[in-house]
Amino acid sequence: MMDFQHEPGRYFLQQNDKTVAEITYTTINNGQTYAINATNVDPSLRGQGIAAKLLDTVVAEAHDKHISIKAVCPYVQKAFANNPAKYQKIEYKP
């Protein structure tokens, strides 16, 4: 299991005190929406599904907090478009 962390503006994964994966966002609409700006994974870890797991963490926490998501990041736009059933529980704003 990945130990993703959250602080205002980003969800991330650290290994050896280095951020190796992160999703960054801006809070908009008076805190009711996360505008996801970027998804980054260290090249040495790509292809392992880390970005998808990180996105799932963001989506689950946003859902629990009744926060919608605006997908600005191309990775998130593609993930939402390719998996509508998986992400139907979150209000998605393209």
State the CATH class of domain 5-87.
alpha beta
Higher-scoring residue by pLDDT: 42, 1 = 42
H/E segment holding residue 6: strand 5-7
**DSSP class of 43:** G
Q: What is the pLDDT of residue 84?
A: 87
- Sheet containing strand 68-71, strands side by side: 5-7, 10-15, 18-28, 33-41, 68-71, 92-93
- Structure confidence by residue, pLDDT tens digits, 23-73: 999 999 999 999 999 999 999 999 999 999 999 999 999 999 999 999 999
Give the pTM. 0.90
Domain residue ranges of the chain, discontinuous segments joined by +: 5-87
